[in-house]
Amino acid sequence: MRRHRNVKIVATLGPSSSDLATIRALFEAGADVFRLNMSHGDHAEQKARYDAIRAVEAEMGRPIAVLADLQGPKLRVGVFASGAHDLEEGDRFRFDLDPAPGDGRRVQLPHPEIFAALKVGSRLLVNDGKIRLRVEHCGPDFADCVVTAGDTISNRKGVNVPDTVLPLKALSDKDRADLEFACGLGVDWLALSFVQRPEDVTEARGLARGRAAILSKIEKPAAVECFAEILKVSDGIMVARGDLGVELPVHSVPPIQKRLVRACRQAAKPVIVATQMLESMIESPMPTRAEVSDVATAIYEGADAVMLSAESAAGRYPVEAVTTMDSVARSVESDPTYRIIIDGSRGTDNRTSVADSMAVAAREIAETTDIAAICAYTQSSTTVRLVARERPKVPIIAMSSEPHVLRRMALVWGAHCVGTPILERFKQAVLNAVNAAQEFDFADRTRKVIVIAGVPFNTAGSTNILRVASCDELLLSSTDPE
């Protein structure tokens, strides 16, 4: 099955989308990557979803990526004797370590590490920022605050501390167990929540031991500040705009999104734009005009993927949400303005290797001659990511003999992933490439394709050869030169 767009769609699975028939329908509607949210559902439920995804993959004959999203450490208040209390602007309120039920003057905050990091003037945000407090006095076991924006505070509401780098690891004990479980299943990507520093990513990479690629979620101000360092040690990025919009002024999120997407493209690493993209479709079969524009903006910016969360996991219209996203993507990518924006934001940084030059050459040849597709062979996904960074006008056929590489590349912009046998000679690569171009309707026998690969074969990082091949190459005799 061929997609007629380049941006990828990530669909989260949940109560509305856990059965085989719905997962198949989501894939047919356009989902390329399925997200398992480890914050919800036990391991048995997640395994059932994973098995269903792989069943659809086998049925459809197209690699599908699975992303396991780790919960991360969740900061929450304790409980109240009456269940909830109203806080108004100007009220005094204390957070402390006392486990006794709270009232209108105090509540437990069972995180001593927060008190250790707070300073006078620090902000505390409760319930996604609906309640805002400023610290006036604090110690190792308490924080006396004044309410600057009031609302109802209730049991176990989440807490954000935007002004402080907390001495918390990105991986809780639950995350470590979930990581090992997910890697044992065979997921392709691990998404890390609450990343604050590059060391958080390095720790997860050590635990994963190469079994899954690491995707860092940018949802903390501290992560934005050291984003360049986090990007270096990550395989991909998710712009998680939910918490980011709570901890930072909401008007600052769009320029941050644009900056992060562009940096990821320059680094040739996939980037997902996520959170509330089609939020109204949780309850409505139609999105708002603003939501459509939001999805379109991410695509115009050059994001590798756009993501559905509750829309596909718990909403009433999961398939319709994916269909809508697919329609928006196809409309945007057919707009002449899209190509002007994408070409204008290409940049030339980080293009210093032979493999970089090969990718640039492939794109330039495709733009100046009658080329149907660029066929890129890879054992590690690097060659395909470099070609995708160029955002060529023609399709990218990503070819590998490694199933886990093909699945990871399902997240990469424009990559149509095709499995091949283990190859020993470049001529075999050419024959496989032209056959794939015809089999998946990218070209007929009158067209040409570009084949880019590395010799010797089966060696990561060896991209060093490019050939323009006619799609009648299948007729070549075995005596033809390499």
Nearest to 133 by CA among 117, 149, 157: 149
∠ CA 299-303-305, rounded to 5°: 90
- Sequence ranges of the domains in the chain: 8-73+169-335, 84-160, 354-475
- Tokens coding 165: 């780098």
| Contact residues for 198 (Cβ-Cβ < 8 A; gap 6+) | 226, 229, 230, 232, 233
Let me know: does 87 contact 154? Beta carbons within 8 Å: no
Residue 473 is predicted with a pLDDT of 64
Q: Cis before residue 456, ω within 30 degrees of 0? A: yes
> What does CATH list as the number for 8-73+169-335?
3.20.20.60
What strands lie across the sheet with 415-419, from one edge to the other? 415-419, 396-400, 371-377, 448-454, 463-470
Let me know: does 13 contact 44? Beta carbons within 8 Å: no
Residue 478 is predicted with a pLDDT of 39
Read off φ and ψ for residue 313, nearest 5 degrees: -85, -40
What class, spelled out in words, does domain 84-160 have in CATH?
Answer: mainly beta
Residue 461 is predicted with a pLDDT of 66
* DSSP per-residue letters across 153-206: EETT-BEE-TT---S--S--HHHHHHHHHHHHHT-SEEEESS--SHHHHHHHHH
The ranges of the chain with pLDDT < 50 are: 476-482
At 421, is the secondary structure helix, strand, or coil? coil
Span 286-334, pLDDT tens digits: 999 999 999 999 999 999 999 999 999 999 999 999 999 999 999 999 9
- Tokens coding 136: 């006036």
- Tokens coding 264: 């990821």
β strands within 275-383, DSSP E? 305-308, 371-377
Give Cα 67 to chain centroid, integer Å: 8
* 359 sits in which H/E element: helix 354-368
Let me know: does 451 contact 433? Beta carbons within 8 Å: yes
Residue 482 is predicted with a pLDDT of 46
Place of tokens 């299943």: 185
Dihedral of the alpha carbons of 411, 459, 466, 476, in degrees to the nearest 10: -110
How much helix, strand and coil, in percent to the nearest 5, is found in the chain?
40, 25, 40
Q: Which residues are catalytic?
A: 35, 76, 217, 275
Distance between CA atoms of residues 59 and 364, nearest Å = 37
Cα dist. 80→95, 156, 193, 334, 397 in Å?
12, 9, 28, 54, 57
Residue 73 is predicted with a pLDDT of 85
At 280, is the secondary structure helix, strand, or coil? helix
Nearest to 231 by CA among 210, 249, 216: 216
Let me know: does 193 contact 70? Beta carbons within 8 Å: yes
For the chain, how big is the Rg over CA atoms in Å? 24
| Contact residues for 176 (Cβ-Cβ < 8 A; gap 6+) | 207
CATH 3.40.1380.20, domain 354-475, yes or no? yes
Span 163-202, pLDDT tens digits: 888 888 779 999 999 999 999 999 999 999 989 999 999 9
Q: What is the DSSP letter of 96?
A: E
Helical residues (DSSP H) of 209-288, grouped into ranges = 221-225, 227-233, 241-247, 253-266
Let me know: does 390 contact 362? Beta carbons within 8 Å: yes
∠ CA 248-249-251, rounded to 5°: 125
pTM (2 d.p.): 0.92
Burial environment of residue 317 by CB neighbours within 10 A (0 to 12, 13 to 18, 19 or more)? buried
